[in-house]
Structure 1
Amino acid sequence: MKKFTLNLKIVFSFTACIAFCVFSGFDLPEENTVIIQNILTKYYDNDSQIKDIKRFEINVTNTGFCRYRKVFNNGKQEYFAFNLARLKSMDYYGTTTKGELYLRTKNDDVIVQTRNDRAGDIDSMGTYMVIPLKNIEVSELNALAENFKKMNATLLVHK
């Protein structure tokens, strides 16, 4: 009976180790989207924007869309969105104190919309989206780039 119990413990331990190794090796897309959104929101530079910005929204969805919206005090809205599967490169221009993050796409893949503007509502397409950042360390930029790569690869596999 002791031998049976010992064998049962060994089999159970081995099965638990295999299950742990298998499930810990997968990165869920939800993790990448949460990390990307948290970094962009945490280090967003609201001070560099025009002083009449009422609020901003940065949203990264599980389906791979990156959305950036600015609402001004006068009611004007600017909206930028693109699918992360179309992301070509990420460039950061500036210092750790202040800079701009350029998210570049392969073609004209960035949706650009302006609402409630004096010039009228404008819908167009662009090749990049610019997000102002401040007080961001190089390690955070590297983590952001790595999560963009992981999300891009995941989206291309599921496409």
Structure 2
Amino acid sequence: MKKFTLNLKICITLTMCSIFMAFSNIKLLDEQITYIQQLLVNHYNEEPEISQIKHYELNVTNSGFCRYKRFFKSGKIEYFSFNLIKFRDLDYQKTDTTGALFLYTKGDDVIVQTYSDRSEEDVDSMADYMSIPVKNIEANDLTELTEAIKKMNARLLARK
């Protein structure tokens, strides 16, 4: 009977630990998603496009998708999206205080769509990078962004 009670205690303890670990992984993933989105939104640079762009949306979802959508004053809409699991590297090309952040993927994994464009037909294609205009971003922010995306990828892969 004592052996049965000991085995029961061990099983219950392992089950409880597994449950707590599962919920902590979800919490850590949500924190990574929030951090990545905040960093991108806080450093987003509207100034070069202010005369053409009505507004933009920049989201990182809990399923790991990075989505960037621009709404032009002319009615045209550009949409870029990729799963961060496909993230390969990032590059930052800058001038004095502004620049462009290039998020590269492993292949042609970025969905590129344009629609409601009066001068051209709608476009639906794939690319191997997404470009986001940024300002006042430091080298340590870029390093932290890369590390956060890689950590998030590991958690997303573990969740599958």
Give the distance between the partners of 2:93 and 2:157, measured in 1 at CA.
27
Contact 1:96–1:134 (Cα < 8 Å) also in 2: no
* 1:83-94 equivalence runs, <5 A: 83-94=83-94
Any gaps of 5 or more consecutive residues in structure 1? 1-18
Give the distance between the partners of 2:102 and 2:31, measured in 1 at CA.
22
1:54 maps onto 2:54 in alignment? yes
What RMSD over aligned residues (CA atoms) do the two structures have, in Å? 2.0
Contact 1:86–1:105 (Cα < 8 Å) also in 2: yes
* 1:1-150 equivalence runs, <5 A: 28-49=28-49, 51-94=51-94, 97-117=97-117, 118-150=119-151
Instruction: Indicate the larger mover: 36-45 or 137-146.
Output: 137-146
Q: Across the two proteins, how many residue pairs are aligned to each other?
A: 138
Q: 1:67 to 1:126 in 2, by over 3 A?
A: same
Instruction: Indicate the larger mover: 145-154 or 29-38.
Output: 145-154
Give the fraction of aligned pairs with identical amino acids, expressed as a percent: 49
Q: Which has the higher helix share?
A: 2
TM-score (norm 1): 0.79
Contact 1:90–1:102 (Cα < 8 Å) also in 2: yes
Match of 2:47, SS state, is: coil
Give the distance between the partners of 1:154 and 1:97, measured in 2 at CA.
34
Contact 1:96–1:137 (Cα < 8 Å) also in 2: no
Any gaps of 5 or more consecutive residues in structure 2? 1-16
TM-score (norm 2): 0.79
Q: CA deviation at 1:75?
A: 0.6
Give the distance between the partners of 2:109 and 2:69, measured in 1 at CA.
16
State the partner residue of 2:10.
Answer: none
Q: CA deviation at 1:49?
A: 2.5
Contact 1:96–1:138 (Cα < 8 Å) also in 2: no
Q: 1:44 to 1:33 in 2, by over 3 A?
A: same
